[in-house]
Chains A and B, each alone.
Chain A
Amino acid sequence: MIAVRRFLSGGWLATYAFLYVAFLYLPVIFLPIFSVNTAATPKFPLTGFTLHWYEDLPRTPALLDAAWNSLIVGVSAAVLSTLLGILAARSITRYRYPGRSTIHGLIMAPLVLPEVIVAISMLLVMLQLGLSLSLFTVVLGHVLVCIPYSMTVLTSGFEGFDRSLEEASADLGESAFGTFRRVTLPMVAPAIISSLLVCFTISLDEFIIAFFLTGTEATLPIYIWGQLRFAAKLPGVLALGTLLLVASFLLMTVAEILRRRAARRTQNEGSLYA
């Protein structure tokens, strides 16, 4: 009842909000719908239900290679960017020093720069340095674009972290390592796991940087890009896309739940961006 009345107080705004959310979800929902449709072209009316397109996926060696590559790149990028994110977020939330906001701005900059330009400039430097393009160069690129997200998640987890708890632990005779393991880590662990999941998801879905910085090995988005040229392969791509959507959705939901738990532990409210 109360909820209904509150929505009514929003009036037409509430209706608009529902329509807008529908607009946000609508295109995404067509991928799963047509991935279980028997027809090879995605159009209405639907012709019948099948899991045929999904069954074909594990029988495609190129796809399995791409999935394996994506896993390697995703895990490496997530671990590296979270490590670098922890250092930076701890420094930003705990210390004050000159140039702090400039450095912070620089680290966050990949978030607002056109990806093509970031990718191309990295490509130029890597070729100049004589690095041969491989999954390693893709990881280097992904770490750069993941750090801002990692920082955002970790900063919201670290902010409001009460330093006196660590001091109390030290005063009560705990060693530095003991303090870290029994006081600091439990407080920040959810934020760290959340950051790992967010970075993994970004790397898993990232296309442009992988496209420019990879050698011959494809990640999943690059594989999909290659398949898009063939109309007949579309249902398979839709099936693969649906699996990726589900994976991203689950990972981000877990990450958000953990991030909120971390924020609650350190008594700090806010969302990924706030």
Chain B
Amino acid sequence: MTAAVEGSPPLRMTRARRNALLQSEPVQGLALISPTFIYALILLVLPILVVIAHSFWTQHYLTIDRTFTLENYRVALTEPIYRDLLWRSLYISLTVSLLTVLLAYPIAYFISFHGGRHKSLWLFLITIPFWTSYLLRVMSWKVILGYNGVLNSGLMGLGIIDEPSTALLYNSSAVIITLTHAWAAFAILPIFVSLEKVDRTLVEAATDLGDGPLRSFLRVTLPLSAPGVISAALIVMIPTVGDYVTPKLVGGKDGVMIANAIQAQFGKASNWPLGAALSVTTMLIVTLMAGATVLIIRAVQRLAR
């Protein structure tokens, strides 16, 4: 291992043995992970390839015509209904990820810098509601925001409003509120992890060199926690774009998102290729949006320094 031991005959043998070990180690590691890897290949990679293939085909009643065509993409990108749904889904997921990150940052900061020995208790408290069924959490928002719901009846009981407001449920704001609540824990954890990695002596140094608390936060802590902010934003943005349950339960007519249209193509409308093209388009656009988010946050981070 060190230069001093190299060259002496008995140790050269050990080195040879170690080389043999090194050669077999990758094999052993790969062999061990292969069942899980193959499972993911068959049930994740292969299916996604099949979806991509379908998106270039055409549905003829019950059979699928396998001649290459871009027609599905033309429909997905130009038909007003799909274009509107795509835009709305992107708008909702962008708003939700922005909101969750903004709301989550102070909490993550509080736990990391002021949590003391209760850090893990706080994290546990925050993750518990997230482990409950997603469907049930969306359902409880429906109970809260409904016409005869908790919020309306509560506000009426307090004499703040005279009759139930219909503005609460069945629109995109209801979808945004519900999703922001549902994904909160996902945003807090990555930010917390990156704040934990911030070297506290750097913050002290900034303070010693005359930066006030706000300046040292903006110039030291915030830029250093940028990786956490990036992963929090992406971990919320990518799945919410394709959310199905929330728009279906609380979105109403004005809150329908692209996932509902995708589901319809695989269900009632029975146009698999179009559904596949909508899925691929959604994934591509969300990837672009995620990339743009990363670039913007990095640029801001550089400016802050």
Contact = CB atoms under 8 A, between A and B. Distances in A.
A and B bound?
Answer: yes
A24 B124 CA distance: 12
Interface stretch (A57-65, A178-186, A242-250): A242-250
Nearest to B53: A124
B30 A121 contact: no
Nearest to A42: B143
A51 interface: no
B128 A252 contact: yes
B140 A115 contact: no
Contacts of B157: 44-45
Contacts of B238: 112-114
Contacts of A225: 135
B133 A107 contact: no
A109 B239 contact: no
Given A43-B153, A84-B35, A274-B193, A228 B44 contact: no
A249 B114 contact: no
Contacts of B27: 97
B44 A43 contact: no
B165 interface: no
Nearest to A43: B153
B111 interface: yes
A contact patch SS:
helix
A192 B208 CA distance: 48
Contacts of B41: 106
- Residue from A27, A45, A85 whose CB has the most chain B CB atoms within 10 Å: A27
Contact of A107 (B37, B111, B193, B235): B37
A106 B126 contact: no
A189 to B, nearest CB: 19
A117 B281 CA distance: 11
Interface in B51-101: 51, 54
Count class of interface residues, chain A: 35 or more
Given A17-B111, A120-B266, A271-B120, A125 B139 contact: no
Given A43-B152, A44-B157, A120-B266, A201 B47 contact: no
Interface string B7-49: 0000000000000000001111110110111011101111110
B189 interface: yes
Given A124-B54, A140-B43, A221-B133, A117 B140 contact: no
Contacts of B154: 44
B242 A117 contact: yes
A184 B126 CA distance: 32
Contacts of A17: 106-107, 110-111, 122
Nearest to B283: A117
A97 B25 contact: yes
Nearest to B39: A84
Interface string A204-238: 11011000100000000100110010000000011
27 contacts: A9-B114, A24-B126, A27-B144, A31-B136, A31-B139, A43-B150, A43-B152, A43-B153, A44-B154, A45-B157, A88-B37, A90-B32, A91-B33, A96-B29, A98-B26, A107-B40, A114-B242, A117-B282, A120-B279, A124-B50, A124-B272, A204-B133, A207-B133, A224-B139, A248-B133, A271-B123, A273-B193
Interface of B: 25-30, 32-33, 35-37, 39-41, 43-48, 50-51, 54, 103, 106-107, 109-111, 113-114, 116, 118, 120, 122-129, 131-137, 139-141, 143-144, 146, 148-150, 152-154, 157, 181, 184-185, 189-190, 192-193, 196, 234-235, 238-245, 249, 259, 262-263, 266, 272, 275-276, 279, 282-283, 286
Of all A-B residue pairs in the complex, the 7 with the closest CB atoms, nearest first, are: A114-B242, A95-B29, A97-B26, A121-B47, A205-B133, A10-B114, A43-B153
